[in-house]
């Protein structure tokens, strides 16, 4: 009897090891590749925080022109300084737009995100720390701004495949899409980019808690740092140097 229990225990342990092996291996591979994924080939890419070498390789391989950092400017942190240096060295533009995975975007933040996606140079790579929550939300917004895409397509950007789980603080991302779906239903609208823009401009209301409740938001809305341009030759063949453009900061 005791031997039988021991055998059953070993088989149970082996079974549990097999059950856990795949998800753990998948999560490990996902993080080893920085949660990188292609949203729109040749146009939009998403990821978690990359190492400088991985970022440089990605920017060159996919000819990325803009890095949209959803963690915001953090000049005191080495990861941020390394990222900006790598982005500029690759000839791309760094855009820092601070979002939070535990606080709803303010209305002006949401409009700013849409404006950045409208005006930045493509291809673009956007990322947060893990590439799941803030990145998933930005990917969903980019999807809703793209002709021919659906709300279901946007929801797929918030999926377990990207390590997104609708629990805790991360549920805010999915709830934002819920609010848009409810607004469509209440107004008898069907989704299209123009209708989505209308909702962002006049229909979106941040839930609790949100950045509009803060007495003061210390973060700028967006910071843009351009790569230095090569010198231009004047009429007589002389070179005119372009100094590096100082970061543009837009505050509230």
pLDDT at 228: 84
25-44 pLDDT, tens per residue?
Answer: 444 545 567 999 999 999 99
On the question of pLDDT at 46 being above 90, the answer is: yes
Give me Rg for the CA atoms of the chain.
22
94-121 pLDDT, tens per residue?
Answer: 999 999 989 999 999 999 999 999 999 9
| Across 77-105, average pLDDT | 96
- Residue 97: other Cβ atoms inside 10 A: 25
For residue 224, give both structure tokens.
């843009």
181-201 pLDDT, tens per residue?
Answer: 999 999 999 999 999 999 999
Sorted by sequence, the CB contacts under 8 Å of residue 210 that are 6+ apart come out as: 103, 104, 105, 106
| Across 203-214, average pLDDT | 92
What domains can you pick out in the chain, each with its CATH number?
34-226 (3.90.190.10)
pLDDT at 62: 98
Q: Which residues pair with 125 in a beta bridge?
A: 45, 67
pTM of the entire predicted model: 0.82
pLDDT band at 249 (very low <50, low <70, confident <90, very high): low
Q: What is the mean pLDDT of the chain?
A: 85
On the question of pLDDT at 241 being above 80, the answer is: no
């Amino acid at each position: 009897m005791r031997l039988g229990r021991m055998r059953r225990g070993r088989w149970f342990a082996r079974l549990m090891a097999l059950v856990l092996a795949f998800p753990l291996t998948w999560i490990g591979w996902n993080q080893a590749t920085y949660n990188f994924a292609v949203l729109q080939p040749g146009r939009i890419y998403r990821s978690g925080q990359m190492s400088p070498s991985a970022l440089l390789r990605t920017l060159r391989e996919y000819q990325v022109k803009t890095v949209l950092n959803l963690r915001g400017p953090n000049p005191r942190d080495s990861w941020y300084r390394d990222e900006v240096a790598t982005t500029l060295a690759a000839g791309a533009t760094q855009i820092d737009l601070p979002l939070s995975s535990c606080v709803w975007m303010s209305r002006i933040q949401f409009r700013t995100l849409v404006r950045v996606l409208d005006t930045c140079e493509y291809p673009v790579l956007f990322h947060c720390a893990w590439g799941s929550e803030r990145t998933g939300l930005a990917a969903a917004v980019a999807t809703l701004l793209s002709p021919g895409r659906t709300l279901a397509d946007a929801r797929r950007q918030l999926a377990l495949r990207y390590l997104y789980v609708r629990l805790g603080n991360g549920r805010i991302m999915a709830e934002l899409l819920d609010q848009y779906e409810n607004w469509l239903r209440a107004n008898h609208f069907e989704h299209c980019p123009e209708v989505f823009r209308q909702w962002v401009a006049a229909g979106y209301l941040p839930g609790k808690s949100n950045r509009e409740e803060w007495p003061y938001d210390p973060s700028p809305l967006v910071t843009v740092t351009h790569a230095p341009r090569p010198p231009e030759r004047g009429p007589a063949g002389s070179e005119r140097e372009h100094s590096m453009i100082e970061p543009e900061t837009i505050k509230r």
